[in-house]
Amino acid sequence: MRILFYNERTGIRGGTETYINLLKKSLEERGHQVEIMEIDIRNHYDFKGSQPDNFMKFKIGFFYVKEVGAIIKKKMAEFRPDVVHLNNNAYFTKTILTACKQSNLPVFQTIHDYRLIPKVDESLLAVLIKRLRFAMVRRNITNFICPSKIFFDLLQERKISNTTYVPYFLETEHWELTEKVRKKQILYVGRLEIVKGIFTLVDAFRKVADEFPDHKLLFMGEGGEDKNLAQAIKDNNLSNQVELYPFQPQQVIRDYLLSSELIVVPSAYREMFGLIGLESFACKIPVIASNVAGIPEWCIHEKTGLLFEMNDADGLATCMRRLLKDKQFADSLSEGGFQFLEDFNNKDRSAKILEDTYKRYI
């Protein structure tokens, strides 16, 4: 099969890009031809911050953008795919769906976040827009790919039956466990955005910094809040204990996971899953994560990690104290996470489920 992956981004790399590359490699190993088409919205529109404002999102999401449509159609004509597999498409939604419909090809979409599903406390306007967007997407998608069992079940409850659960996976050969000295450092890996809970993490670390003066907090990533994060660190007098690093390749991230004392995943929005959890388990580093959406699928409280309530800096600080003071308990969580990965991770299984799903509709 000839498979075209489509993805949109705002210049910032994250878990979606890692996921796409993993799928591409695994499908190529099964004899398929795979290409990735990535549209960076910054190449077409200027905006301040890490993403466009809501008006621009609505305008380019619900209406066809000729310039982008021409690029998509050109790629399809050159590659001649048998299937199109969409990933992030929150910006040029109408454009990519129209191009796919005109091609008469089966279209699959991995759902990477909860943005199509309204939140309980959202305004009536926000709920209406999300319902309209989901209706538009649903009419044009052959099959939804869900990497989260929780989200898969949610769609089933909503009578959305054209869904397939395809679990996340790691190429464990690239995460082979090696012995390294654990330094007194706490790690964050991911986008530097408000929705990732980075400011909650700074606040929590402020509460424990004096108790653990030899420990450092390391942020590793990129995003629109990098300057504000640096200012928050300065304002909280944490400059001597908090360090910022740019986005790093997988091998460097692995080295930090192997040499840090614990990692925090403080997401402040409905995270679909969180691939960093599996990567952490592979490196046997204790994990603290927010109790939201798909994260509890892998961060099982007091078995594979510790959970705290989203945006609760006091709760996060309590978890950090507990693991930094009780090494035996921290080690037990590391072992639990490693065993979870052993039982959960199966690259061939996930690739075959996806391959079989494609074949059903060709």
| 238-294 per-position pLDDT tens digit | 999 999 999 888 889 999 999 999 999 999 988 888 889 999 999 999 999 999 989
Both tokens of residue 332? 């037990």
Copy the structure tokens of residue 252.
Answer: 């460097």
**What class does CATH assign to 2-169+346-361?**
alpha beta
Domain regions of the chain by residue span: 2-169+346-361, 172-344
* pTM as predicted: 0.88
Joined tokens for residue 12: 């910032």
Check if the beta carbon of residue 191 is closer than 8 Å to that of residue 221.
yes
Q: Which residues of the chain have pLDDT under 50?
A: none
How far from 178 is each of 220, 258, 287, CA to CA, in Å?
A: 21, 8, 18
Which secondary-structure segment (H or E) carries 157? helix 149-157
E strand or H helix that includes residue 98: helix 93-103
Determine the pLDDT at residue 147.
Answer: 92
Phi-psi region at 37: left, alpha or beta (left = phi > 0; alpha = psi -120 to 50): beta
CA 316, CA 58: separation in Å to the nearest integer?
35
Beta bridge pairs of residue 218: 187, 243
Task: Determine the pLDDT at residue 12.
Answer: 58
For residue 182, the 8-state DSSP code is P
Whether 2-169+346-361 and 172-344 share one fold: the answer is yes
Distance of CA 288 to the CA centre of its chain: 16
- 3.20.20.70, 3.40.50.2000, 3.40.250.10, 3.50.50.60: CATH of 172-344: 3.40.50.2000
For 174-213, what is each residue's pLDDT tens digit?
777 777 789 999 999 999 999 999 999 999 999 999 999 9
